[in-house]
Chain A
Amino acid sequence: MSALSGTARRRMRSLGWHVGALALLAVILYPVVWVIGASFKPGDKIVGSLQLLPTDPITDNYRRLSEGIADIPLTSFFYNSLIIAVGSVVGVLFSCSLAAYAFARVRFAGRNLLFSVMIATLLLPFQVLIIPQYVLFQKLDWINTFVPLLLGKYLAVDAFFVFLLMQFMRNLPKELDEAARIDGCGHLRIYWNIVLPLCRPALITSAIFSFIWSWNDFIGPLLYLNTQDKYTVSLALKMFIDQDTVADYGGMVAMSLVALAPVLLFFLAFQRYLVEGAATSGLKG
């Protein structure tokens, strides 16, 4: 050991660290690589074989998928998921930024009380709400529409996003408001022309998280959507599992990847925003 110089030893240790980290990474990311490889294998070769990537890849699974599931074209599921996800993003950005602005920049009577209520809803288990909400939407005849899945997003029900945006707005310099106020701007102008543009990073983070959570959501669509033409991608995938013996294993695995793909792409494109957002506001992920 003494023969090694300081730098050489440091380089060895760094190499060791990278080998260790990469090995761990390989184990962690195995399931994701597995699903990609398996989706190009014939159904009966998926579980038994240990080969990560197929020896001769086939696209049959995808060809069958493209013909639809249970006579519903694949595009229908995608369209439904997309409408709900994009609708959620718009709603969250709109309603949560308004609420966040009020909590962060307006000094109004009762703010502390309402703020505590908002924080309390962060910890509230959703199970307490699903039954009465279902009853409400059933009375309003909104079952099997997208309204129950979207309404809450337009009413800032996701306290997490209010909190995230509020934290960001709080850090903007106070002098901005003062200056704008003296120039004769009301709150609406300050919100729209000054605060929102400066909040871009936090808005992007919120948008991506709300898209991904909505896309992955399972219990919402499971409760509220009950005809297959309204099904989202998650529910369509669930149809495979509900069969007593999975008839089309290859199709199921391919569909898993197809359902995952948008989230993975979003992650690759915006990972910095996501990881930073998760670090500053500590969310479930």
Chain B
Amino acid sequence: MSKEPTGPDTGSDNLPAEEPIPNPGLPSHTWRPTDIDEAAARRAERQIASMYLLSMLCVLGFVVTYFVADVGDNWDTILGLGASTVGLGVFLGLALLLIGAATIQWARKLMSDVEMVEMRHPARSSDEDREATLQALSSGAEDSGIARRPLIRNTLLASVGMLGVPAVVLLRDLGPTPGQAAEADYPGAGLEKTVWTPGMRVVRDVVGTPIRASDLEIGDLVNAQPEAIFPSEESGLPELHGAELLIAKSKAAVIVVRMEPETIIPGEGRDNWSVDGIVCYSKICTHVGCPISLYERTTHHLLCPCHQSTFDLSDSGRVVFGPAGRHLPQLPLAVDEEGFLVAQSDFTEPVGPTYWERDHKDIGDQGEADL
């Protein structure tokens, strides 16, 4: 066994001084009690075997639990926890742990623990091998004539390279482009539009009932939707399903809050967007699009639970804290002849997170509330 790194690749010639202490070599082996005492070895053997036995018992327990513990709408419980999950998990886990522990204990106590030495070899191939490989490569290249016939080589490379084109082109139908989506015929198609239309009622989420302005008290928060999500027979709106429903919801969701009318600082041109202190904002955060409804009634702040952007609903949805870069879009409100809240129009700007072409296809007054 060599004592010092002196191989060709270890660079021992860089060392400025001799090593201070020579390598003393492997210490002599010391024996375990199980190596020298047959009784200890037998004890260990019994211990290991009993772990394997216990493991089998645990599997039995697993099977019993599987057939005895109820799932479905009426779970059996242990300490308030689901008996099936707990029982199956603990029995399976113990069965596995016992096999593992027994096997490792076997290795630790009874298998040989005399250290062995194996020599390493440099990762690189030997010079002869390299030579032979290079020789083979050049013979191969020579036989193919790839060097002599650059035309073939170049056209081969180009044609194989061109195969990337079908691979990319084939992915084209993964989805429509944003432009195509905007022209699709489902309601509120495209990033710039939502299902809100002038005069559409604001209805409560989940139950779909319209909101009478006089029903709301100061401090009230309503998680609301356009009526198009909950079409009633009288409205004559089409029922939305599947992707259309989800897309419509993901852009059109709003929150309606009522505050003291004098606390509202209306944005430019937004003087008549509120009804008696009732304001309506997009529920979709302008940061990355989480729905937000963490509203504080005294500060009029709205917090996003995802990244803590905070918006001031008394001040055109201005950002007061956090990573959002834009104010929250406001939906202009009015009341219809029956006294229910309705939208004056669709949002005047795209809702949700910022995207590259957003300004390009701007449809309204975006940005002025950031000032």
Q: Do A and B bind each other?
A: no
Partner-B contacts on A (CB < 8 A): none
